[in-house]
């Protein structure tokens, strides 16, 4: 054995013993980050809930309740206690898995979230699929044909997606595609006579209907989700296409591309393997962020399409100072962001050997 190989063996041995420690350290860091993020989030949301000029008691007792009723409900909500005490009580309950009851729906917040989040998840996932499937090739095409009509057309599509208000596009979509042409179904997740046929398993109607083999329900649900997810998908597409174009343009200007061309490599291989391969890491971040934003729930889309999603739930709750619901919803959104961040971190390792 040479000295060198002996050193390598020692290093490898040290590496093996160090590896679990590194993993543990990483896990501990991650856990600390998570705890801090959640603490920060709950604290900020809690304070926001207390500084908005809406009295949560009024949301429950109404405008004309007598002062005695008002005081009774205020005490029931614990609002007579100091803010830090209210916050600590809330945290304690969360740790026990009790997110409290929503005053608006009279249901436990967790139960509400299990009902509203799948509606948003369904919409956001389909929208993201549309955004990625169309946005990425469009962005690549715009970069490859930079300055030509394809590029201009794609940029124009992106510009419209960026600048047209989503509620306006939603209403026009409904007017033309639903009211005039009958190509899609109207507002809501299902036609009224198909509701309650499929037992909720995942809360995602398309999946639940497929599990139950209720294809008529599935088709109807698809008819309903098509327009709102298409419109959200358009916004997602606009963002993804624009970012893909810009990432690709940067890569196509690099020297290794020129070298590849000089070496006679096919244009398709240069674009899709070399240039596109190199933009995958930032592109994943863009897609993950776009997906996370959609998972927050698009309030305006949900309002126009009477879609019982998380965005509408959180907004309604905030306007009524229903803080249990707002905090519960915010934690779900935060969890989505953190999970998608982690997921994109993991994908980095798959697509970028340097990060391994």
Q: Which residues contact another protein (rule: CB under 8 A)?
A: 52-55, 58-70, 72, 102-107, 112, 115-116, 171, 174-176, 178-183, 186-188, 191-200, 212, 216, 303-306, 308, 312-313, 316, 319-321
Shortest CB 109 distance to another protein, Å? 12
Which tokens hold the place of 209? 């209907």
CA gap 59, 52 in Å, rounded: 13
CA gap 165, 302 in Å, rounded: 14
In 93-199, beta strands by DSSP E: none
Which tokens hold the place of 28? 């501990």
Phi, psi (rounded to 5 degrees) for 299: -55, -45
Residues found in the chain: 356
CA gap 144, 253 in Å, rounded: 11
**CB-nearer residue toward another protein: 162 or 319:** 319
Shortest CB 186 distance to another protein, Å? 5
Residues 6+ apart with CB under 8 A from 161: 234, 235, 237, 238, 239
Shortest CB 261 distance to another protein, Å? 41
**CB-nearer residue toward another protein: 55 or 345:** 55
Q: What is the DSSP letter of 199?
A: P
**CB-nearer residue toward another protein: 298 or 303:** 303
Q: Which residues pair with 108 in a beta bridge?
A: 101
**CB-nearer residue toward another protein: 151 or 214:** 214
DSSP three-state, residue 108:
strand
Shortest CB 175 distance to another protein, Å? 7
The residue behind tokens 């007598």 is 66
Q: Which residues pair with 101 in a beta bridge?
A: 108
**CB-nearer residue toward another protein: 65 or 110:** 65
Shortest CB 289 distance to another protein, Å? 27
Shortest CB 120 distance to another protein, Å? 12
Shortest CB 204 distance to another protein, Å? 15
Shortest CB 118 distance to another protein, Å? 13
Question: Among candidates 223, 222, 173, 200, which has minimal Cα distance to 116?
Answer: 200
Which tokens hold the place of 335? 């969890």
CA gap 228, 299 in Å, rounded: 12
**CB-nearer residue toward another protein: 256 or 319:** 319
**CB-nearer residue toward another protein: 84 or 319:** 319
The residue behind tokens 């979230």 is 113
For residue 330, give Cα distances in angstroms to 220, 231, 351. 31, 24, 31
* Neighbour count for residue 287 (Cβ, 10 Å): 23
Shortest CB 202 distance to another protein, Å? 14
Question: Quick check: 349 and 355 in contact, CB under 8 A?
Answer: yes
Shortest CB 73 distance to another protein, Å? 8
Which tokens hold the place of 274? 């070399």
């Amino acid at each position: 054995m040479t000295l060198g190989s002996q050193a390598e063996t020692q290093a490898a041995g040290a590496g093996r013993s160090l590896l679990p420690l590194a993993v543990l350290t990483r896990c501990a860091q991650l856990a600390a980050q998570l705890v801090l993020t959640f603490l920060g989030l709950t604290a900020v949301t809690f304070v926001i809930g207390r500084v908005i000029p809406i009295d949560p008691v009024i949301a429950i007792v109404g405008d004309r309740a007598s002062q005695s009723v008002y005081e009774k409900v205020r005490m029931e909500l614990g609002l007579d206690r100091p803010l830090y005490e209210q916050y600590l009580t809330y945290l304690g309950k969360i740790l026990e898995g009790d997110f409290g009851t929503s005053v608006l729906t009279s249901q436990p917040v967790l139960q509400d979230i299990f009902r509203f989040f799948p509606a948003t998840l369904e919409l956001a996932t389909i929208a993201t699929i549309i955004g990625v499937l169309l946005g990425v090739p469009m962005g690549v095409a715009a970069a490859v044909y930079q300055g030509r009509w394809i590029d201009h057309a794609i940029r124009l599509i992106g510009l419209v997606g960026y600048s047209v208000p989503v509620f306006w596009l939603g209403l026009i979509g409904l007017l033309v595609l639903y009211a005039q042409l009958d190509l899609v179904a109207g507002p809501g997740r299902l036609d009224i006579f198909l509701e309650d046929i499929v037992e909720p398993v995942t809360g995602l109607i398309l999946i639940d209907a497929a599990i139950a083999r209720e294809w008529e329900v599935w088709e109807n649900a698809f008819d309903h989700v098509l327009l709102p997810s298409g419109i959200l998908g358009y916004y997602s597409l606009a963002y993804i296409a624009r970012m893909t174009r810009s990432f690709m343009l940067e890569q196509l200007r690099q020297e290794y591309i020129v070298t590849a061309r000089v070496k006679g490599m096919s244009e398709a291989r240069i674009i899709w393997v070399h240039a596109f391969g190199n933009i995958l890491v930032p592109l994943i971040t863009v897609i993950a962020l776009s997906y996370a934003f959609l998972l927050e729930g698009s309030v305006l889309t949900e309002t126009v399409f009477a879609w019982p999603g998380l965005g509408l739930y959180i907004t309604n709750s905030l306007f009524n100072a229903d803080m249990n619901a707002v905090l519960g919803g915010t934690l779900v959104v935060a969890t989505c962001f953190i999970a998608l961040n982690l997921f994109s971190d993991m994908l980095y390792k798959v697509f970028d050997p340097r990060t391994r």
